[in-house]
Amino acid sequence: MQRKGLVFILDGLGDRPCPQLNGKTPLEAAATPTMDHLALHNQCGMMDPLRPGLAADTHTGVGMLFGLPPKDALRLRRGPIEAAGINLELRRGDILLRANFATVEKQARGYRIMDRRAGRISDEAAPLCAALQDVPVAPGITASLHAATQHRAVLRLRGEADGEPLSAQISDTDPGGHAMQRGILQAAPSPSASPDAAAARTAQALNCFTQRAHAILQKHPVNARRLAQGKPPANGIIARSAGRHQPLPNLLTDIGLKVAAVAGEMTILGLAKLFDFACYHSPLFTSLPDTDLAEKLRLGEQALATHDLVFVHIKGTDTAAHDKNPALKAEFIARFDRELGNLNLKSHIIGVCADHSTDSLRGEHNGDPVPVLLANPGGRRDLVKRYNETDCIAGALSRITAQDFLTVLLDAMGALALSNYAPMEMEG
């Protein structure tokens, strides 16, 4: 291998023109002299994390960049990833779901969702989770909630129903931000699953937990204090992406690379652990724009001393977009660019990319491609002069998938040959 690789994944970086930014995207509006310099002397393009028009989630978008084969990406479940991120103790048969604390209002026909993130509750999540341990939700089945990052948590369903194991083939209770008006959904056996009594019982257990969790949280002292302070109560739980822990295939480890991930978000750390990557984390890292970018980038550069390829994940771009704050997103991008300029980037292969686009006007992911940049000392250069959604369309990398971008990066590193490409499973 000729060079080491350092890849920066700016979560939700891609965006659409914003009236608040005079018709520019946050990336176009931000001052980015470092990334523009890299773009001017190297190659750029546009990347579809999965395929054109298909909006990726963080775990699928990052999973692809981490070397997950495309055929496995759409089957990737969020619950087991989050559980790995927090080192949750597991037993055979446990069902794991990604959960959010939410602010809800109980109504005659269910629960109205007022805020899917309960005001981005953070430090108070742990005592709330402590009140939701081993909650009986059906004969022989218990539910436990475990804090992850900010408002995020892992819901573990454990036990058996009539001697049968629980099933992960159940639908979500989280409607997603685009359908929040539907309120908390009723879990049911997945539409794609064949009729399954175990799935029906597991779904019933999850629906029971929704009710019992609300009753417990509504009376919790933490929520009484939050209400007194004018904050939204975290009095509901919404859950999605049920699954079981299972090994994940990975191109990067299959070809023998030593890989590390630097992140402050448990989803990313969970993926890294499932792929047997080294993990670098600090209490200074958050999922918000207030994260310590200088320390995160310093750790990324430091990890290169002992690893072939290092991924540095930046979450604040996505958070600002979900909060419908394009100005904050642009400001955060500019701050990242300043910190990037403090690194010694001349001797490594540098990648700058994103896991998906997040629309700052709607606060949701979309299927737009994201701009990508590949800096290769001594490599080819194109005519792109600035790193953004508009300029990168004309780049030499053209419009590629995340799998393609990873392949080009590995080739620039001298780490990939046709003989070890088989694990990638080329797809036409």
Please report the pLDDT score of residue 194 as a whole number: 65
Other Cβ atoms less than 10 A from the Cβ of 223: the count is 22
Please report the pLDDT score of residue 155 as a whole number: 97
Please report the pLDDT score of residue 374 as a whole number: 98
Query: What residues of the chain score a pLDDT lower than 70?
Result: 1, 177-178, 192-195, 417-428
Length of the chain: 428
pLDDT digits (tens, 9 = 90+) for 125-158: 999 999 999 999 999 999 999 999 889 999 999 9
Please report the pLDDT score of residue 391 as a whole number: 98
pLDDT digits (tens, 9 = 90+) for 96-129: 999 999 999 999 889 999 999 998 888 899 999 9
pLDDT digits (tens, 9 = 90+) for 331-345: 999 999 999 999 988
What angle, rounded to 10 degrees, do the helices at 78-85 and 266-274 form? 90
Could you give all domains of the chain from N- to C-terminal order, each with its CATH number? Answer: 5-76+248-424 (3.40.720.10), 83-243 (no CATH)
